[in-house]
Structures are given as structure tokens and as C-alpha cells.
């Protein structure tokens, strides 16, 4: 934690926060059980759920995967009834991908099951630790909103400049 990269110019421990977020991401990945939606599948469905119908190329960029990989994923989602392709009403040459009711239900079930598994882990924390996590939720939410859903998930994409309050 005392490494030179652990703090930004304001003294905020950005490096330590990044390391803890990495550990949290690994924990979230381990909440999955075999047979559940993969992270990429769930993330794609969640993007479609939040953003609405989307061009396949835009969806691939948002998810940080190649267009051929997204084409394969969307084909699997379509075969399983979780997503569908449809012509864009504004331009019939364009194909949009959208989540189906079954896709929304699968996403909701995944969130419910993961919530249950997380709840078991949370019982191992003391009251102060649970309160600290609850208090951090607005800041975590604000942090996740800094990079919009329609921003491509690519290391080459610059992160927006921080606003000065």
C-alpha cells in the first residue's frame, strides 16, 4: 500500500482501490455456479437490458470483443431464446439485437442466485464491515457511472477527464 503508485496527486489511494476492485471482481466471478450464464453472456444481456436494441458492431465494442466473437455469442443467445435479431425500423438494412423476456428472466435469476450466495458470505462479516459496505454503495454506483455503457470496453479508449468539484 505504500508503493509509489498507490496514491494519485491528491493522496487518494487509487492504486489500492484498483487492487481491491480487482479482488472484488474475482469474488464476483466466483459467485457463479456451473451451468449459469457466463460473465460475457450476462454482461451482454445486461447491456441490452439497460441500453435497449443495439447493432451487433456496437454491442461488440461495448463488450470489448471482436465482431465475429459477438456474432457467435448472439447466435447462441438467439438459439437459447435469450436474445433476438430484428430489422431496425429506421433502416431495414440494419440488424439490431435485443434481449427477450426469457433473457430478462435468466438475468434476473442469475442476479437472485448470486445475491443469495453473496448474502451467505456477508454473514461472515461483522456489523461494522457490513455497514461500511452499505455506506460505500453510492460511491461505487457513482464510480461505475463515470464510464457510460455506450463507451467501448477497450484499453485504448481514454477515460473521461475527472471533474473538479
Mean pLDDT of the chain: 86
State the pLDDT at residue 158: 47
For the whole model, what pTM was predicted? 0.74
State the pLDDT at residue 7: 58
Spatial CA neighbour of 49 closest among 108, 124, 112 = 108
Spatial CA neighbour of 134 closest among 146, 147, 118 = 118
Region 62-77: mean pLDDT is 94
Least confident of 57-71, 129-143, 144-158: 144-158
Contact (Cβ atoms closer than 8 angstroms) between residue 59 and residue 67: no
DSSP assignment string, 58-75: HHHHHHT--HHHHHHHHH
Which has more confidence, 163 or 149? 149
Spatial CA neighbour of 59 closest among 139, 146, 150, 159 = 150
State the pLDDT at residue 159: 46
Q: What share of the chain is helix, strand, coil (3-state, %, to 5)?
A: 60, 5, 35
55-85 in b/e form (b: 16+ CB < 10 A) is ebebbbbbbebeeeebbebbeebeeeebbbe
124-137 in b/e form (b: 16+ CB < 10 A) is eeeeeeeeeeeeee
When pLDDT is cut at 50, 70 and 90, the band that residue 71 belongs to is very high
Q: Which three cell numbers stand for residue 89?
A: 425500423
For the cut 60, the answer to whether the pLDDT of residue 163 exceeds it is no
* 99-134 pLDDT tens trace: 999 999 999 999 999 999 999 999 999 999 999 999
Amino acid at each position: 500500500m505504500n508503493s509509489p503508485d498507490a496514491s494519485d496527486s491528491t493522496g487518494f489511494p487509487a492504486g489500492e482501490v484498483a487492487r481491491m476492485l480487482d479482488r472484488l471482481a474475482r469474488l464476483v466471478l466466483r459467485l457463479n455456479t456451473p451451468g449459469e450464464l457466463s460473465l460475457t453472456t450476462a454482461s451482454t444481456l445486461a447491456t441490452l437490458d439497460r441500453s435497449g436494441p443495439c447493432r451487433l458492431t456496437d454491442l461488440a465494442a461495448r463488450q470489448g470483443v471482436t465482431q465475429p466473437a459477438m456474432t457467435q455469442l448472439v447466435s447462441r443467445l438467439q438459439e437459447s431464446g435469450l436474445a433476438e435479431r430484428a430489422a431496425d425500423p429506421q433502416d431495414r438494412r440494419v440488424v439490431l439485437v435485443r434481449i427477450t423476456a426469457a433473457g430478462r428472466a435468466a438475468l434476473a435469476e442469475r442476479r437472485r442466485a448470486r445475491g443469495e450466495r453473496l448474502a451467505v458470505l456477508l454473514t461472515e462479516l461483522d456489523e461494522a464491515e457490513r455497514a461500511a459496505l452499505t455506506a460505500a454503495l453510492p460511491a461505487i454506483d457513482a464510480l461505475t457511472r463515470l464510464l457510460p455503457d455506450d463507451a467501448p470496453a477497450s484499453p485504448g479508449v481514454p477515460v473521461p477527464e475527472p471533474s473538479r468539484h
